[in-house]
Amino acid sequence: MRVFVYLLGFFLVGCSASKELINTSTSEELNGDHAVYKGQTADVIFHNGTIITIEDELPMASSVAVKDGTIIAVSQQSLVEQYTAESTQIVDLKGKTLLPGFIDAHSHMGLAMSLVRQANLSSPPVNTVKNISDIVDKLKAQQNEYNIKDGEWIIGWGYDPDLLEEQRHPTKFDLDEAFPNNPVFIAHISGHMAVANSYTLDLLEIDEHTKDPAGGVIIRMLDSNEPSGLLQETAVYLVYNNLPRPSVEETFELFDEIQDVYASHGITTAQDGLTNYKTYQFFKQAAAGGKLKLDIELLASFLDAKDYFTHAIDDFGKSHHGLRLAGLKIVSDGSPQGKTAFFSDPYLTKVPGCTHDCKGFANLDQEQLKGLMSRCYGADIQLFTHANGDGAIDLFLQTHQEIKDSIPSLSDDLRNVIIHSQFVRPDQLDLYKEFNMIPAYFSNHAFFWGDIHVQNLGIERASFLSPLKTTLDMGIVATNHTDFMVTPLDQLMTVWTAVNRTTRSGKVLGPDERLTPLEALKTITINSAYQHQQEDRKGSIKVGKLADFVVLDKNPLTVEPDDIRNIKVLQTIKEGVVIFERE
C-alpha cells in the first residue's frame, strides 16, 4: 500500500485570536509590520529566509512570528528580539523560501482512498504504459502481487488512449483472453469513462438490450448493439457502483497516508471534489476522532443530493475539526481529451459512438440543472459545477440567468465555481465577471493534452485553454488545480504549466495566457482561499491568519521559468506545526 501511495504522489482546525489587534500596516515606526498583537511573545519565529507573503501591501518579508497557530507579526526586519520568550522556537530558514501553504482548489482525495489494490495504467511521465499490451501486463502484475483469485475484481486506472501506440481505447476483447475468469474494470485518466471485459458485462447483465442511462453512453460494436466494453459518463456507474470497497481499517490507514502525500506537496488545505454521502460519513468520523492533519474541503456529490439535503442540510459551509462541507458539486459534462465534453461546435476528429455533429453531450438537461441550482441558491449553499466545454458553460450560465431573473433578491456573492472552465469563451468570461463567478482552471492540460486539443479542437480553441491571464486582467478571481488523480498532485508543476504553457511536444500553447510566477502562486494560495470562502483565515502570510506555510528549496519568483517544476518542498507547516519534512 505504501508503494501504491508513493506512486500517487508521483503523479485541517483554525485557531482564533481574541487578543487586541493593532493595525499598523502603514506605520513606518514599526518597520513595515502588517500588525502586531500587543504584549505577546511568539511560540515560533521564522527568519533568515525569503518570505513571499502573497500580500500586496507587504509582498516580501524576512521574519514571521506565530502564537497558538496564528500569525502575530510579519516584518521586513527581524522579530527575534521583540517576540522571543524562553520557550520560543527560532527557525532559521537558511536562505530558503517560505510561502503560505498551498490550498488545493480541486482534487479527489476520496477517490485516491478508494484505489487500494488497483493498477496504475498511466503513460509517461507518470508511469510506463505505452500500449494495450502494457495495460494487460500491469493488470497481470497486480493480480499476482495481491494473489487475486478467480472471480475477484481486477481494477486499474489512468489509461490514456491518446498516448497509446494503438491510438484507441481498449475493448473487452483486449482484456478477455488474459482474464477469462475475473471481472476487469479499467478507468480512463479523466475518470469520465472506463472499459469492462466480457466477464464484467455478463456479471452485471450489460448487453445489447441494456439502454444507455441518462447522461451516459454504452459504446457498441460497429453495425451491432453489442457493447464494446467502453462506457462513457454515467454509464460508468453501471459498473462502478458494484466495485468492492476497502475495509474500514484499510480506509483509515490509506487516509493517514494520503494526507501525508498531500502534505508532501505543500498542501495545507485539501479538497475532495465529489464526495458521496457514505464517504462523507467516513470523513466526519475521521475528523471527530482527531485524524485530520490538514484542513479538508468536501464537495457533496449531486448524485447523493437527496441524502445531503435531507440529512446534512445544516452542515453546508460549516467547519468541524478541520473538515468543511463546502458546497454541492454538479458534473454537467465530460472530458475534452475523452471527447465527451459538451461544445457549441463539433470536434474535428472522430468521436467514439458518434457519426455526425459530434459536440459531446451534457450530463444533465436544463430542468435537472435548474432544480439543483435553485435548491442550492435557496439554502445559501455554494455551488461547484464541472463544465469543460463552452456548450456546458452556456447551459449553466443560461440557467443561472433564468433563476436570477425570477429571484431579484438573489445574492451577488454566491461565488459559484465553474470547475475546469477549460474552453470558456471571452463572452462567457464577461458573464463570469458580472455574476461574480470563479473559474477553477486546469492549466496542466496544456502540457498533458495540449497537442491533443489542437488536433481535436483546432489551434484557436486550444490556445484559449484555461485563459488565466485574460481572466485575471479582467479582475476575475481565478484558481488553478491538478484534478488529482487526473494529473499528479504536484503544485509546483501546476505553477510551471501556468507560467510556461508548454505542451509535451515543446510548443507554447496560447502564449498570451501565460502568467507571471507570482500570479500563478496566487491561484493556488489567496485565490483558492477566496474560492473556499476562507480568505480571512488563509492564503497569505498576514497577521491574524493561520500559520499555514510551505518551505521551498528555491524561490519560484527568481528561478528560470522552466525550472519551477524542479523546485522541492522541504517542509509543510500547519498552524505552526511541521506536518511534513523532506529527509
Per-residue pLDDT tens over the stretch 44-67 = 999 999 999 999 999 999 999 999
CA angle 485, 278, 158 (to 5 degrees): 20
How much is the pLDDT for 31? 39
Of 80-84, 131-135, 433-437, minimum mean pLDDT range: 80-84
Please list the residues that pair with 328 across neighbouring strands. Answer: 300, 383
Q: Residue 245 corresponds to which cell in the numbers above? A: 470497497
pLDDT over threshold 50, residue 18: no
- pLDDT digits over 376-410, tens only? 999 999 999 999 999 999 999 999 999 999 888 88
pLDDT over threshold 80, residue 529: yes
Place of cell 480568505: 535
pLDDT over threshold 60, residue 12: no
| b/e code 83-113 from CB counts within 10 Å (16+ = b) | beeeebeebebeebbbbbbbbbbbbbbbbbb
At 46 the three-state DSSP class reads strand
CA 523 – CA 220 distance, rounded (Å):
42
Closest Cα partner for 139 from 180, 179, 196, 199? 179
The CATH architecture annotation of domain 12-101+539-583 reads: Roll (2.30)
Bond preceding residue 125 cis, omega within 30 of 0: yes
Closest Cα partner for 573 from 45, 41, 7? 45
Radius of gyration of the chain (CA): 24
pLDDT band at 37 (very low <50, low <70, confident <90, very high): low
Top CATH class of 252-538 equals alpha beta
Of 16-30, 253-267, 295-309, 396-410, minimum mean pLDDT range: 16-30
Whether 552 and 569 have beta carbons less than 8 Å apart is answered as: yes
Q: Residue 555 corresponds to which cell in the numbers above? A: 524561490
pLDDT over threshold 60, residue 6: no
Report the half-sphere exposure of 482 (CA within 13 A, side-chain side).
29
Predicted model pTM: 0.88
Per cent of the chain over pLDDT 70 is 93
The CATH architecture annotation of domain 117-240 reads: Roll (3.10)
Whether 196 and 185 have beta carbons less than 8 Å apart is answered as: yes
Q: Which carries the bigger pLDDT value, residue 406 or residue 554?
A: 554
How much is the pLDDT for 8? 40
CA 330 – CA 394 distance, rounded (Å):
15
Q: Which carries the bigger pLDDT value, residue 411 or residue 570?
A: 570
Q: How far apart are the first and last CA of the chain?
A: 20
How much is the pLDDT for 38? 55
**Phi, psi (deg, nearest 5) at residue 230:** -85, 125
Whether 157 and 187 have beta carbons less than 8 Å apart is answered as: yes
CA angle 423, 426, 428 (to 5 degrees): 80
Number of other residues whose CB lies within 10 A of the CB of residue 409: 4
How far out from the chain centre does Cα 318 lie? 20
Closest Cα partner for 396 from 375, 425, 373? 373
Place of cell 502525500: 261
Of 35-44, 81-90, 234-243, 282-291, minimum mean pLDDT range: 35-44
How much is the pLDDT for 116? 59
Domain boundaries defined on the chain? 12-101+539-583, 117-240, 252-538
How much is the pLDDT for 583? 86
How far out from the chain centre does Cα 19 lie? 36
- pLDDT digits over 348-363, tens only? 999 988 989 999 999 9
Calculate the average pLDDT of the chain. 91
How much is the pLDDT for 21? 32
**Phi, psi (deg, nearest 5) at residue 450:** -55, -45
CA 480 – CA 498 distance, rounded (Å):
8
- pLDDT digits over 66-106, tens only? 999 999 999 998 888 889 999 999 999 999 999 999 999 99
How much is the pLDDT for 17? 33
Q: Residue 456 corresponds to which cell in the numbers above? A: 481535436
Count helices and strands (H / E) in the chain: 20, 25
